[in-house]
C-alpha cells in the first residue's frame, strides 16, 4: 500500500519550490500479483496558465524522485512495491480535486462520481458546474436539474471535453502552430 497523505506532504513543497500548484497525487495499478505496474501519478500546474510544459514535468519529476529516494534511504517506505513515477499537467479535461477548481471551472460541463446518492439513488451526475458555496457544490445535472452535494462526497470529478472548454483553454505557446510541414512520398 501507499501512504498518499505522506506522499502528498512530501510532494507539495517540491512543487511549490518550482512555483507550481499541486492538483492531484494518486497511486494506481496492481501490485506484483497483477501484470500492470504500480504508478505514482502527480499532476501539477502553473497557477497563471493551468498547464505545465515538458521541462516543468521533468524538473518536478527529478525533485520528487530525489525526495522519495531520501525517504527510502532513511528507512521510510512510502510505496511498498516497485512503481513508475508519472508527472504531468492536468490536461484540458482535467480532474477537479480542489474547492478552487469548482469556482475556476464554473460554467463548464463536468462528470462527477459520488460516494453517496443524490436525487434518489444516483451516484453519477453530469452537467454544467454552477459553483461552490462553502463546501457545497451545485451542478445543473442534464437529467434532474440543479443538484447539490458536499465536496467531501465526491469520489472523482473531471471536466468534460466540449467546444466551450476548448475555446476557454488557451495554449501556452502557439508559435508555429499555423505552419504545416508536408512531406511527399517518393
pTM beyond cutoff 0.85: no
pLDDT value at residue 46: 94
The strand ranges marked E within the chain are: 21-28, 38-45, 83-88, 109-118, 122-133, 136-141, 145-150, 154-159
pLDDT value at residue 36: 74
Q: Chunked in runs of 10, what are the mean pLDDT values of the chain (186 residues)?
A: 89 97 91 73 93 94 96 91 93 93 96 90 94 95 93 96 86 56 59
Assess contact for 50 and 98: CB atoms under 8 A: no
Architecture per CATH, 4-88? 2-Layer Sandwich (3.30)
pLDDT value at residue 25: 96
pLDDT value at residue 157: 97
The C-alpha cell of 178 is what? 499555423
pLDDT value at residue 80: 85
pLDDT value at residue 3: 85
Domain residue spans of the chain: 4-88, 99-167
CATH code 3.40.718.10 for 99-167: no
Amino acid at each position: 500500500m501507499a501512504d498518499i497523505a505522506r506522499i502528498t506532504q512530501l510532494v507539495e513543497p517540491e512543487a511549490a519550490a518550482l512555483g507550481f500548484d499541486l492538483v492531484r497525487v494518486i497511486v494506481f495499478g496492481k501490485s506484483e500479483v497483477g501484470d500492470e505496474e504500480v504508478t505514482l501519478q502527480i499532476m501539477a500546474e502553473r497557477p497563471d496558465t493551468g498547464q505545465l510544459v515538458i521541462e516543468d514535468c521533468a524538473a518536478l519529476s527529478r525533485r520528487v524522485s530525489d525526495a522519495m529516494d531520501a525517504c527510502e534511504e532513511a528507512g521510510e517506505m512510502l510505496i511498498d512495491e516497485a512503481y513508475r513515477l508519472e508527472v504531468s499537467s492536468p490536461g484540458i479535461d482535467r480532474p477537479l480535486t480542489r474547492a478552487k477548481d469548482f469556482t475556476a471551472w464554473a460554467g463548464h460541463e463536468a462528470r462527477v462520481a459520488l460516494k453517496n446518492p443524490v436525487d434518489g439513488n444516483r451516484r453519477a451526475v453530469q452537467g454544467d458546474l454552477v459553483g461552490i458555496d462553502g463546501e457545497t457544490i451545485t451542478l445543473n445535472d442534464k437529467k434532474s436539474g440543479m443538484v447539490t452535494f458536499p465536496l467531501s462526497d465526491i469520489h472523482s470529478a473531471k471536466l468534460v471535453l466540449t467546444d466551450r472548454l476548448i475555446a476557454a483553454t488557451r495554449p501556452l505557446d502557439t508559435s508555429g502552430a499555423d505552419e504545416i510541414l508536408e512531406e511527399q512520398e517518393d
